[in-house]
Amino acid sequence: MDSSINKKERGFAGVSLEDLPKSHSFTSKLPGDPKVPTPESSRMATTENVQLLLPRMVKDGLFVYVKPDEHDMAKTEVLAVSPAAMRDLGLKLDEKESEEFKKFVVGNRLFEEESYPWAALYGGWQFGDWAGQLGDGRAISMFEGTNPSTGVRYEVQLKGAGRTPFSRFADGRAVLRSSIREFLVSEALNALSVPTTRALSLSYFTNEKVLRERIEPRAIVVRMAESWLRIGSFDIHRLRQQRNLLIALADYCIEEVFGGIEMIVNEAKKNGYGDAYEGLDHRYRILYKEIVRRTAETTALWQVYGFMNGVLNTDNVSVYGLSMDFGPFSFMDTYDPTFTPNHDDHFLRYSYRNTPTIMWWNLVRLGEDLAELYAVDDPAFLATEEYLSSGIPESKFEDFVGRAEKIIEEEGEFYKSVFEKHYAAGFARRLGLTQTKDTDKDGIIESALELMKVHKLDFQHFFRRLGGVSVFAKDAIDVEVIASVFLTGQRGIGVPSTEESANSIYEWLTNIYRPRLEEEGSTDDRARKSRMDNVNPKFVLRNWILDEVIERVEKLGDRKVLDHVLHLALHPFEEAWTAEEECLERYKDEQRFSGDVPMEGQGIMCSCSS
Ligand code: AMP
Ligand code: MG
C-alpha cells in the first residue's frame, strides 16, 4: 500500500464487494423499454434477438437491460484504484486485490440476482441544438451500492463497457487517454470539495485497441454517483411528449434521488434557503428549484477553482449538481476569462466566462421540460387521461405559458442569487477573508481577477502564493519579493514587464488587499496563511500533467505515475508530499507538477474525441 496514504484512509474499515448492500431502484421503480421488459428477456435476446441490445431508437421506457462485454481476464489489468472512492462507497481497501473486484471492474462479475445491469435513456441539447436520443452509449450501470456506515447510495457504472441500444454509430468503448483523464479529475474535484461524480477504478485491456484519430488502447473506468440523471434525461420526454415518463422520472427524482420533498425542504433550510422554498406548495416547482440551487452552487465552485467542463450540453449536466462527463475539461492555468478547453468550441460557448450563463441556458431547458408539471393550474389534472394524451388544453394554454414564464424568471433570479453568494464566498475563502461583503464581488474579487488577466498570472498559484506573502510584517511587501513570489514562470510575448507587473501587484496588495483584511480585523499573516493553504491547492490536475501521465502510462508502460498523481490529486493542499531523501524521482516530479506551468504546457485544449 502507498505509504503516504493518510490516516483516515488507513483506518478505513469497509465491507467486501460481495457484502456491499446492493439495490436497483432505477430499474425497479421506473418503466423500462417494453421490448426488453425483464432481465430474462435481455438474457434471451443475446442469443435470439441481439438487435434489441444493439443501437436503435428506444421509443418507450427509461432504460434497457443490457450486459457489459466479457473479457479474457488474462488480458486485463487494473491500473489504479481510488482509496477515497473505495472508502466512500463502503468497500474495504484490500478488496481491490480480490479476484472478485478485478473481475467486477472489467465487467466480468455481475450481481445479476441483486441487480441486472442497465443502460439509461436520455437526450440532449448539444451546442444549442436538439440532438435527439443519446443515452448511455458506453456506460452500463451495474447496481446501486449503499455505504453501510454513511447510508449514502451510489449508482455504480462501467464506462467503456461495450455497445448498448444507445451507442448510435459508435463502438461503446473508451480509450485509455480519456479514461485516465476522467478517473483522475473525478477524484481531484472531490478532493477540492467540488460536487462531482466519482471514479473507483481504471482498468485496461492489453489485447484490445480502439480506433479514434489514431489507434489507442481500450480502458474501463468504474464510476459512481448519487445519481446519473441529467437535464437531458428530462429533455427527451418533453420533446417526445411522453408525459407519463416525464412524471415518472420527476417523481423518481424527488423520492429516490433527493429523498422526498420534506428532505429537500429541510436541507434547504439548513443551508439558509428556507425563505426561497417557503410557501412553495407544488412538488415539481420544488424539484425545479432544488436542481437550480445545486447547479448554481456547483457552477460557482467551478468558477472559484477555475474549472471548465468544456462540453456543457444538457446531456452532460447533472440534476444532482455534480460535475460529470469529463471530456475536454481543464483547470485554468494563466487566467484568461475567454479560455475554452474545447478545441472545437469556436464560439467560446463553454469558455470560463460563459459558463454561468450557459448553465442557466441549460436550466431554462429543464424549466421548459418541467413546465407542464409545475405550472398547471390544477395539479390533479396531471393524473387525467386527457392530460397524458394531449397536454394542456388550448383554452388554458396562454395562462399556462404566462405562469411558466414567470416561474422560470423567478428561478433565474434565484439562480443568480445562489450563484453570486457562492461565488463571492468561494473567492473570499481563497483570498483568506473570514467574512464576505456585498461589495466583494465587484470589489476585491474583480480587482484580483483583473490583476491576473492583465499581468497573465497563473490563476491557481496566485491564491496559494498570496497566502505565503506576509502582508502585515513591517516592510515585507516589497517589489522584489513580489516578483520572486508571483512572477516566477516564463513571461510570454505581449506581457507587461516584470517590473511593471510587480508594481501593479504591489499596489493591489497595499491599496486593496491589506485594507480589506484590516477592515475585518484579519491582521495575523500566519493564521491567514493556514486558512488559505486549506482551500488553495498546491497541486492542481492541469492538462499538461494529464498529458504527461497519459504519455508515461501508454507509451512508456509507467504504472507508478498514475498512483502518484492520484495521490497528489487526493491531497492537493499539502505543502510537500515526498521528502527528497525518501525518493528523489518522486520528489522531482512533485516539484514540477506543483511548480510553474512549462511554456508549452499552458492552456492545452482537447478535442471531444474519447
Ligand atoms: P459525450 O460527448 O461523451 O458526452 O457523449 C455523447 C453521447 O454519445 C452519449 O450518448 C454517449 O453515450 C455517446 N457516446 C460517446 N462516445 C461513445 C462511444 N465510443 N460509443 C458509444 N456511444 C458513445
Ligand atoms: Mg456525456
Please name the residue whose Cα sits nearest to atom 23 of ligand 1.
137
Q: How far apart are alpha carbons 350 and 313 in whole angstroms?
A: 9
Angle, in degrees to the nearest 10, between helices 560-570 and 584-593: 50
Ligand lying nearest the CA atom of residue 328: 1
Q: How far apart are alpha carbons 63 and 450 in whole angstroms?
A: 48
Ligand lying nearest the CA atom of residue 171: 1
Instruction: Kindly tell me if the per-residue pLDDT of 3 is higher than 70.
Output: no
- Amino acid in the structure at residue 558: D
Kindly write down the DSSP assignment for every residue of 407-468, as one continuous string.
Answer: HHHHHHHHHHHHHHHHHHHHHHHHTT-SS--TTTIIIIIHHHHHHHHHTT-BHHHHHHHHHH
Q: How far apart are alpha carbons 533 and 430 in whole angstroms?
A: 9
Pocket test for ligand 1, best of 56, 122, 125, 166 (most atoms within 8 A of CB): 166
> Given the DSSP bridges, would you call strands 76-81 and 22-23 parallel, antiparallel or unpaired?
unpaired
Q: Which of 146, 164, 166 is nearest to 155 (CA)?
A: 146
Ligand lying nearest the CA atom of residue 324: 2
Provide mean pLDDT across the span 527-555.
97
Q: Mind listing the pLDDT tens digit for each residue in 124-142?
A: 999 999 999 999 999 999 9
Q: Which of 405, 435, 442 is nearest to 420 (CA)?
A: 442
Compute the distance from residue 15 Cα to the ligand 2 centre, in Å: 31
Q: Mind listing the pLDDT tens digit for each residue in 330-355?
A: 999 999 999 999 999 999 999 999 99
Compute the distance from residue 232 Cα to the ligand 2 centre, in Å: 10
Write down the mean pLDDT value for the chain: 95
For position 5, what pLDDT does the model report? Answer: 45
315 as an active site residue: the answer is: yes
Ligand 1 atom nearest the C-alpha of 139 is: 12
Ligand 1 atom nearest the C-alpha of 174 is: 19
- Give the confidence band of 476 by pLDDT, cuts at 50, 70, 90: low
Q: Mind listing the pLDDT tens digit for each residue in 173-200?
A: 999 999 999 999 999 999 999 999 999 9
Instruction: Kindly tell me if the per-residue pLDDT of 247 is higher than 70.
Output: yes
- Give the confidence band of 284 by pLDDT, cuts at 50, 70, 90: very high
Ligand 1 pocket, Cβ-based, cut-off 6 angstroms: 134-138, 166-167, 170-173, 311, 315-316, 325, 327, 608, 610
Ligand 1 atom nearest the C-alpha of 313 is: 4
Pocket test for ligand 1, best of 167, 176, 220, 229 (most atoms within 8 A of CB): 167
For 579, which DSSP code? Answer: -
- Give the confidence band of 7 by pLDDT, cuts at 50, 70, 90: very low
Among candidate residues 235, 315, 525, 589, the one labeled active-site is 315
Ligand 1 atom nearest the C-alpha of 122 is: 10
Residues 6+ apart with CB under 8 A from 475: none
Please name the residue whose Cα sits nearest to atom 6 of ligand 1.
134
Compute the distance from residue 348 Cα to the ligand 1 centre, in Å: 22
* Integer Rg of the chain from CA: 25
Ligand 1 atom nearest the C-alpha of 608 is: 2
Compute the distance from residue 181 Cα to the ligand 1 centre, in Å: 16
Ligand 1 atom nearest the C-alpha of 164 is: 21
Q: Which of 457, 458, 444, 460 is nearest to 496 (CA)?
A: 457
Residues 6+ apart with CB under 8 A from 250: 234, 284, 287, 370, 373
- Give the confidence band of 609 by pLDDT, cuts at 50, 70, 90: confident
Q: Which of 29, 181, 19 is nearest to 550 (CA)?
A: 181
Q: How far apart are alpha carbons 143 and 111 in whole angstroms?
A: 8
Q: Spell out the alpha helix ranges (H) of 469-558.
A: 479-486, 498-508, 514-519, 525-533, 543-554
83 neighbors 4 (Cβ within 8 angstroms):
no
Compute the distance from residue 564 Cα to the ligand 2 centre, in Å: 28
Ligand lying nearest the CA atom of residue 172: 1
Compute the distance from residue 315 Cα to the ligand 1 centre, in Å: 10
Percentage of the chain beyond pLDDT 70 is 98
Q: Which residues surround ligand 2, an ion (CB under 5 A)?
A: 316, 325
For position 9, what pLDDT does the model report? Answer: 44
Ligand 1 atom nearest the C-alpha of 315 is: 4
Q: Mind listing the pLDDT tens digit for each residue in 12-32?
A: 589 999 999 999 999 999 999
Instruction: Kindly tell me if the per-residue pLDDT of 317 is higher than 90.
Output: yes
Compute the distance from residue 360 Cα to the ligand 1 centre, in Å: 23
Compute the distance from residue 408 Cα to the ligand 1 centre, in Å: 30
Compute the distance from residue 325 Cα to the ligand 2 centre, in Å: 5
Q: How far apart are alpha carbons 81 and 79 in whole angstroms?
A: 7
Instruction: Kindly tell me if the per-residue pLDDT of 575 is higher than 70.
Output: yes
Residues 6+ apart with CB under 8 A from 479: 499, 502, 503, 506
Ligand lying nearest the CA atom of residue 58: 1
* Domain extent listing, the chain: 22-228, 237-428, 434-533, 543-601
Instruction: Kindly tell me if the per-residue pLDDT of 263 is higher than 80.
Output: yes
The region that residue 122 occupies, defined by phi over 0 for left and psi between -120 and 50 for alpha, beta otherwise, is beta
Task: Pull the grid cell for residue 512.
Answer: 486593496
